Amino acid sequence: MCRFLAYQGEPVFLDTVVSKPCHSLIHQSMRATECKTSTNGDGFGLGWYGERPEPGIYRDLRPAWSDDNLLSICNQVRSPMFFAHVRAATGTATARANCHPFTHGRSLFMHNGQIGGFGKIRRQVEAMIPDELYMHRVGTTDSEAIFLAAMGRGARENAGEAFGSVLGEICAMMRAANINEAMRFAACFTDGETLHAFRWACDEKAPTLYWRPGHSSVQVVSEPLDESHEHWNAVPQGSMLTVRGGQVVELQAFNVTVH
Amino acid sequence: MCRFLAYQGEPVFLDTVVSKPCHSLIHQSMRATECKTSTNGDGFGLGWYGERPEPGIYRDLRPAWSDDNLLSICNQVRSPMFFAHVRAATGTATARANCHPFTHGRSLFMHNGQIGGFGKIRRQVEAMIPDELYMHRVGTTDSEAIFLAAMGRGARENAGEAFGSVLGEICAMMRAANINEAMRFAACFTDGETLHAFRWACDEKAPTLYWRPGHSSVQVVSEPLDESHEHWNAVPQGSMLTVRGGQVVELQAFNVTVH
Amino acid sequence: MCRFLAYQGEPVFLDTVVSKPCHSLIHQSMRATECKTSTNGDGFGLGWYGERPEPGIYRDLRPAWSDDNLLSICNQVRSPMFFAHVRAATGTATARANCHPFTHGRSLFMHNGQIGGFGKIRRQVEAMIPDELYMHRVGTTDSEAIFLAAMGRGARENAGEAFGSVLGEICAMMRAANINEAMRFAACFTDGETLHAFRWACDEKAPTLYWRPGHSSVQVVSEPLDESHEHWNAVPQGSMLTVRGGQVVELQAFNVTVH
Amino acid sequence: MCRFLAYQGEPVFLDTVVSKPCHSLIHQSMRATECKTSTNGDGFGLGWYGERPEPGIYRDLRPAWSDDNLLSICNQVRSPMFFAHVRAATGTATARANCHPFTHGRSLFMHNGQIGGFGKIRRQVEAMIPDELYMHRVGTTDSEAIFLAAMGRGARENAGEAFGSVLGEICAMMRAANINEAMRFAACFTDGETLHAFRWACDEKAPTLYWRPGHSSVQVVSEPLDESHEHWNAVPQGSMLTVRGGQVVELQAFNVTVH
């Protein structure tokens, strides 16, 4: 399990949500409260949009809580859309290449959850990645494979369909391989304009996911950044939240059909 | 706060105590139970004696729980005396040079605790280190400063006196600087032959420290390596345990006189 | 390009060959003389045999020249067979998982060279790795893929045939993919008993490889460890050197048939 | 020896000078041409001014040439003044805390050179740092000590006097300690507004230093960023260059009086 947050709206300094809140993501890296492992110390990552078309990326394998660079970057950078993620590894190595968010072109993706028994079907899952994207696979996680597979299925054009189709196919592979562990998926994806947040699990035990509207911004988080849950809305299981222009524009069903 | 263990006796593979027990030191790096911070993820270190007069040292700033090198070294190395330490930083940087154990010549030292308000009296504490040892100070911790100061006061000849004198002087500095925080000290020191374990605090709230005799070996730990406390003896506050030839040879008062 | 050394024979401390010679492997990490890039600063690795059936492994992504742990381990460990490698990355990330030597069970492998245009045929090369070994692929290098593919073809039983068959098949893939870059291969493999050193390239420009017999030991190196080339014998291109019991037992042709 | 660059003027993306030129600073990290060691692989650092009063800092102990984060940050950040540095360690550890630039409040400092025999007079040099700044010393380099000592002597108000006085005093210490090695100093300092570049050595063998005026900007570098030296002016030995508003406002003598 991991913890993450995504922001879209009025440009703000990253520290506003990443490091300053009392239960900020950096605080959650050592003391998360809504997941099985309270420690998310297996690396971290930032992805943010600035003046360039491609997002900036800062990832490292150290724990987020002790990284001065991370604090400094969050203190300096102001952005209208950014992702931040702290990792608790589930079987793959602690390495920079396995840290979220993942990026390709203008897109960013991050994930909390896992493909149960991934080791057994890894090659099949990777086979879903088109050749021209496969050379961009630099790590070994299930998350990066899902991202690249969905990119190959038009995630930029229709994120819900692309991820739904990828997840459905993986669930079928898991079933065929007699894997009893679940597939769980809380994730954020953006093409640089529209932000999609997903919450789904094949066993209805999806990782927590919340969103909070601001004046002209939306935050999506694994767990609230303060002790009160008052302003935070749970994303229902089996849903996809769509944010554009700093507003939630849609909360719709996220359908994963397992053939 | 940190967690550590020391072993002396029949040569054993390091993994026997460092990684294999159910509540091994590596397990404690993520889930310590007897200290305020359960996470000890700010680096780790090993020091062991082999065929050379000087001990081997392996330290890194990553969390112990995700380091494959550490597992491999513990699996390979067999030693009659070794120290292992997982760090929870108290104010100084997460850096290899700040990881325990510290070494000089044949000696090893590791520490759990802190000098309250160290920043305010750091220069004075460092002034206790003789010039010829000062050039060996490579980090910025209070622990390394205590070690080098005690080395300069004959820790190899009389560990109890050397550390007692250093701690007493530091407590006087703290008092003069109106520091209200406590000085706490659970530590192990060896000259390569005799192992000394200390437990002391100026406010009687010394970090926990246990020892366990084996057939022809002694283990000293911050907290027991298994769930049962049955075979583990608490080192009393204000005491120094002396181990030689795989046997406890003395448990005596550790006197710190503050002038 | 990378630099490596392998030792088999009377147990010696690793520093004897890894760090103490004037042009030791650690020296070569900054100033190699017989390859295009003099800097081999993209990580390093050690693999050594001790009392356990499996070799010990110490790898890191830092340059070898500044790693105190490496010096200490080389100073402590005495072994009858070990591999050491310093890396100059050729397209894949600087990451611990991409550092040599690679290990599986009792075997070790390290490589200097590359599969030209690997990115274009990566998936095909990986398809040569059997399923039960694919889950042990933790990095993204061509070298690790060659190793696991050869393991799947019986490298432990017949190293020459296994590697020859793998390389031949890859060359055919390269040809089919219209890759003009060469495949070059200087490598060492051992099952824990017998050491095989290979030197081959599809364009006859194989990386340098030397061996030197000692009283009861053999060293295999990318470049001599001292300035004199006097005692070092070049392994001819297209050859495989076999070392057992600290003696060269065979120097034979290494045949790679490209279908 | 190290390599560095400083920029002041029209805001530009950092990659314009840090990574894109043919002999960029990142290129120099592996192949510097005007210093004894061509490899500057012992860490790197960036300091830049943005919307906040304090500069942003990104430093790491890896070589600059293999760090994707560095490329991404340089690609994203646009700044009117920034420092970049690649390190070749001269005796102190490869650690993040020893990487340049150093910062305090709004100021930045970076250095190429060394205090000869620093180990012998380290404590004396450190004694020049006022108590209130000493707690900000987090590494062990001579460079950081010079910076903090000069800060204590009013570097923000009169950089030339402050650094001149610090260097003069250190030279006197070196002489008293019978140190024969030289003190060499090429450095940049800024209070966030005015940039000062220094070139001096007690033996007249100061590290190289160049500056180049642009339309409304000035670059100061250890060695030119392209093969031609045409547009680059050597800063004379014993000089201090002052840059304000993207213009060189003064090139004056830098006097170091050794008492």
Q: Does B235 have pLDDT greater than 80? A: yes
The answer to the question of residue C204 being in a domain is yes
Quote the CA–CA distance of C94 and A36 in Å, as a whole number: 32
> Which chains are adjacent to chain A, needing at least 3 Cβ pairs under 8 Å?
B, C, D
β-pairing, C102-104 with C107-115? Answer: antiparallel
Among A168, A172, A176, CA closest to A149? A168
**Of residues D39, D62, D89, nearest to C62 (C-beta):** D62
Do D221 and D210 form a contact (C-beta atoms < 8 A)?
yes
At CB < 8 Å, which residues of chain A contact D? 48, 50-52, 54, 56-60, 68-69, 72-73, 75-78, 96
Quote the pLDDT of residue D31.
86
| pLDDT tens-place string over residues C139-171 | 999 999 999 999 999 999 999 999 999 999 999
From A70's Cα to the closest Cα of chain B, the distance in A is: 14
The answer to the question of residue C259 being in a domain is no
Quote the CA–CA distance of D39 and C198 in Å, as a whole number: 30
Residue that has been written with the tokens 């001269």 in this structure: D90
The answer to the question of residue C232 being in a domain is yes
The answer to the question of residue B27 being in a domain is yes
Quote the pLDDT of residue B227.
74
Mean pLDDT of chain B: 95
Quote the pLDDT of residue D47.
98
> Which chains are adjacent to chain C, needing at least 3 Cβ pairs under 8 Å?
A, B, D
Please judge whether A138 and C96 are an interchain contact, meaning their C-beta atoms are less than 8 angstroms apart: no
Minimum Cα–Cα distance from B60: chain C residue = C69
State which H helix or E strand residue C196 sits in: strand C195-201
The tokens for D60 are 């790491």
The tokens for A139 are 């790590």
Do D233 and D251 form a contact (C-beta atoms < 8 A)?
no
At CB < 8 Å, which residues of chain A contact C? 92-93, 95-97, 119-120, 122-123, 126, 131, 134-135, 137-140
Quote the pLDDT of residue B242.
98
Q: Does C228 have pLDDT greater than 80? A: no
Whether the complex's predicted ipTM surpasses the cut of 0.90: yes
Q: Does C255 have pLDDT greater than 90? A: no
Contacts A135 to C, Cβ<8 Å: 119-120, 122
Please judge whether B66 and A39 are an interchain contact, meaning their C-beta atoms are less than 8 angstroms apart: no
Q: Does D1 have pLDDT greater than 80? A: no
Please judge whether D57 and A68 are an interchain contact, meaning their C-beta atoms are less than 8 angstroms apart: yes
Contacts D138 to B, Cβ<8 Å: 92-93, 140
Minimum Cα–Cα distance from A67: chain B residue = B94
Quote the CA–CA distance of A205 and D249 in Å, as a whole number: 66
Quote the CA–CA distance of A206 and A240 in Å, as a whole number: 13
Please judge whether B41 and A41 are an interchain contact, meaning their C-beta atoms are less than 8 angstroms apart: yes
Quote the CA–CA distance of A180 and A191 in Å, as a whole number: 33
CATH code, domain with B34 = 3.60.20.10
Q: Does B36 have pLDDT greater than 80? A: no
Quote the pLDDT of residue D37.
74
The answer to the question of residue A259 being in a domain is no
Quote the pLDDT of residue D25.
92
Quote the CA–CA distance of A52 and D16 in Å, as a whole number: 14
Contacts D62 to C, Cβ<8 Å: 61-62, 94
Given pLDDT bands bounded at 50, 70 and 90, which one contains residue B31? confident
Quote the CA–CA distance of C163 and C150 in Å, as a whole number: 5
> Which chains are adjacent to chain D, needing at least 3 Cβ pairs under 8 Å?
A, B, C
Q: How many CB atoms lie within 10 A of CB D193?
A: 12
Given pLDDT bands bounded at 50, 70 and 90, which one contains residue A60? very high
Residue D133 domain boundaries: 3-253
Q: Please tell me the total count of domains within chain B.
A: 1
Given pLDDT bands bounded at 50, 70 and 90, which one contains residue C26? very high
Quote the pLDDT of residue D40.
93
Quote the pLDDT of residue D228.
75
Minimum mean pLDDT among A66-75, A83-92, B105-114, C188-197: which range? A83-92
Residue that has been written with the tokens 């110390």 in this structure: A41
- C183 burial (CB, 10 Å; 0-12 / 13-18 / 19+) is buried
Given pLDDT bands bounded at 50, 70 and 90, which one contains residue C132? very high
For chain A, the straight-line distance linking the first and the last C-alpha, in angstroms and rounded, comes to 27
For A230, residues 6+ apart whose C-beta sits below 8 A from its C-beta are none
Q: Does B109 have pLDDT greater than 90? A: yes
Contacts C62 to D, Cβ<8 Å: 61-62, 94
Minimum Cα–Cα distance from D141: chain B residue = B138
The answer to the question of residue A258 being in a domain is no
**Of residues A51, A58, A59, nearest to D78 (C-beta):** A51
Query: Rounded mean pLDDT of A190-215?
Result: 96
Please judge whether C42 and D94 are an interchain contact, meaning their C-beta atoms are less than 8 angstroms apart: no
Query: Rounded mean pLDDT of D80-106?
Result: 94
**Of residues A62, A66, A93, nearest to B89 (C-beta):** A66
What order of strands is seen across the sheet that includes strand D217-221? Answer: D56-60, D44-48, D78-86, D3-13, D217-221, D210-213, D233-234
Q: Does A90 have pLDDT greater than 90? A: no
pTM of the complete model? 0.96
Quote the CA–CA distance of D16 and D5 in Å, as a whole number: 12
Quote the pLDDT of residue D229.
74
Query: Rounded mean pLDDT of C27-54?
Result: 91
| pLDDT tens-place string over residues A18-41 | 999 999 999 999 888 887 778 999
| pLDDT tens-place string over residues A220-242 | 999 999 877 788 999 999 999 99
Please judge whether A59 and D48 are an interchain contact, meaning their C-beta atoms are less than 8 angstroms apart: no
**Of residues A38, A42, A65, nearest to B66 (C-beta):** A42
Minimum Cα–Cα distance from A12: chain D residue = D51
Compute CA A249 distance to the chain's CA centroid, rounded to the nearest angstrom: 19
Minimum Cα–Cα distance from D62: chain A residue = A60
Mean pLDDT of chain A: 95
Amino acid, single-letter form, for residue A101: P
Q: Which of A72, A79, A98, A104 to mutate to test the interface with D (most CBs of D within 10 A)?
A: A72
The tokens for B205 are 């709230």
Evaluated on CA atoms B207, B208, B214, B219, the torsion sign reads: negative
Q: Which of C48, C60, C72 to mutate to test the interface with B (most CBs of B within 10 A)?
A: C72
Q: Does C85 have pLDDT greater than 80? A: yes
Contacts B66 to A, Cβ<8 Å: 41-42, 89, 93-94
From C238's Cα to the closest Cα of chain B, the distance in A is: 35
Q: Does C120 have pLDDT greater than 80? A: yes
From A140's Cα to the closest Cα of chain C, the distance in A is: 7
Contacts D120 to B, Cβ<8 Å: 135
Minimum Cα–Cα distance from A50: chain D residue = D76
Residue that has been written with the tokens 């209200």 in this structure: B180
Do C153 and C166 form a contact (C-beta atoms < 8 A)?
yes
CA geometry: angle D182, D187, D188, nearest 5 deg: 170
Residue that has been written with the tokens 């050749």 in this structure: A131
**Of residues C93, C120, C122, nearest to A97 (C-beta):** C93
Quote the CA–CA distance of C159 and C164 in Å, as a whole number: 8
Among A82, A18, A19, CA closest to A56? A82
**Of residues B52, B68, B75, nearest to C76 (C-beta):** B52
Given pLDDT bands bounded at 50, 70 and 90, which one contains residue B259? confident
Q: pLDDT: is C38 or C137 the higher one?
A: C137
Q: What percent of chain A has pLDDT over 90?
A: 90
Please judge whether A94 and B66 are an interchain contact, meaning their C-beta atoms are less than 8 angstroms apart: yes
| pLDDT tens-place string over residues C58-78 | 999 999 999 999 999 999 999
> Which chains are adjacent to chain B, needing at least 3 Cβ pairs under 8 Å?
A, C, D
Contacts C97 to A, Cβ<8 Å: 93, 95, 140
Quote the pLDDT of residue D90.
80
Q: What percent of chain B has pLDDT over 90?
A: 90
Contacts B51 to C, Cβ<8 Å: 13, 76, 78
The answer to the question of residue D258 being in a domain is no
**Of residues A120, A123, A135, nearest to C119 (C-beta):** A135
Among B26, B23, B85, B27, CA closest to B59? B85
Q: DSSP secondary structure string, B145-214?
A: HHHHHHHHTTTTT-HHHHHHHHHHHHHHHHHHTT--SPEEEEEEEESSS-EEEEEEETTS-PPP-EEEE-
At CB < 8 Å, which residues of chain B contact A? 30, 38-39, 41-42, 61-63, 65-66, 68, 89, 93-94
The answer to the question of residue B54 being in a domain is yes
Minimum Cα–Cα distance from D29: chain C residue = C39
